[in-house]
Structure 1
Amino acid sequence: MTKYVKIDGKEYLNMATSNFLGLVGDERIEAVAEKTILKYGVGSCGPRGFYGTMDVHLDLEKQLAEFLKCEETVLYSYGFATVASAIPAYAKRGDVIFADKGVNFAIQKGLQASRSRIEWFEHNDVNDLERLLMEQAELDKKHPKIAAKTRRFMVVEGLYHNTGDLCPLPQLMELKWKYKVRIFIDESMSFGVIGNTGRGWLDLIVYEGAFYPSHLRRTSEKWGGGEATRKEES
């Protein structure tokens, strides 16, 4: 898990760990963790929605919202469940989701759980995505009553877990506004990594009307996650 490993007495950079921020092994973090365990124990022993919420959870949600400059954030106990549950919380049967073929397994499970119609576009291919959006727009014109009840979503990753490349978010946001779709941006890999302050794509581009699920394992080395949203300006 540490940034460096020793093999036969020699120190090597560990390229097989998610601890690329070097938080594991940091003595300052270990000292704070020890104090926290003495006060709160090793966990809340329950889900957030029942008896698993502590004051530190609420404090962290507030601090994350301020850091991300969002209206509100929600913490999850299990990082995998963050995007896997966030997608079906908003998208339902009868809705349509335009998803990048390169999305991670947690997103795939969320798409499956939503029971929405999934339209896959080639990885990071904005032209292929717009082709699908145009086809949907034509379909909406033919069936206006159905279109009025259909919600449209786009699902991408800020920094792709499977390939390590960035999504073309500026172009995606143009399509979002042009075709009036909501967007999920999974920043599990990019949060804490991209931007001058580690806000991920929020450091590079301002986007409203977006759902912002993130896996906090990379930035805290704990199996947690969170979701932030930005209000869509009319």
Structure 2
Amino acid sequence: MNERSLLLKDLVKKMLGLLPFAVTQNQRYDRQTNAIIRRVCRRASNCVDVGTHRGEILDTMRQAAPEGTHFGFEPLPHFYDKLQQRYAGVAGIEVFPYALSEAPGEASFNHVKTNPAYSGLQKRRYDRPHEEDETITVEMRTLDEVVGTRGVPIALIKIDVEGGEMGVLRGARGLLARDKPVVIFEAGIGGSDVYGTTPGMLFDYLSGFGYRVSLMGRYLKGQPPFSRQDFAASFNGGHDYYFIAY
């Protein structure tokens, strides 16, 4: 897939977004994410977008909390460069070229050239054949190191890192304990398990900070959170792969 094909894919996504209903699972998740950001944030709330990609969610954060400071993390160089151009001179937006994990350092990063959204610190399983990838080197940092030291309370964190969410959360233990931000995170079979992450590990870690875990749709409807067993069933079922901790 070349640059022209990627642009066409983005155009189709934008056209689907204009419809009054969700057509795909990803589109449904995008709409639920936006709804939660608008519900959680106040005008001066501060948010974090881990896996910023092209900045769509970062834009929603800025719109929902125009007086806050919002931090984006995107380790793919070409996306980071475009984000730098897009937000140059925009107050309240800071973008960093780091892959977030539980410890700082330098790491190999799998860049999926034909499907950049599948890129990550580990090579996840692909759902279609013939993907083209390459290995690049990225700088790793922790959320506590980059954002936690800023002294601003964080209201919401979105994590989309193709299976590496456990590392991001472990590197944010100080923020989770201090601010208990709402956390929207992608997790599931094909990504998380490649890192050795199980649903029990995620549930127990988040529960240790007093979090409840659920699907975004259930949260928006005011339905009860998942039990540990419910979360494992949803995670392992393969249909659900975006969750919320609150």
Fold shared, TM-score > 0.5 on shorter chain: no
What TM-score, normalized by structure 1, do the two folds share?
0.36
Where relative contact order (Cα < 8 A, 6+ residues apart) is larger, the structure is: 1
**Rg larger in 1 or in 2?**
1
What TM-score, normalized by structure 2, do the two folds share?
0.35
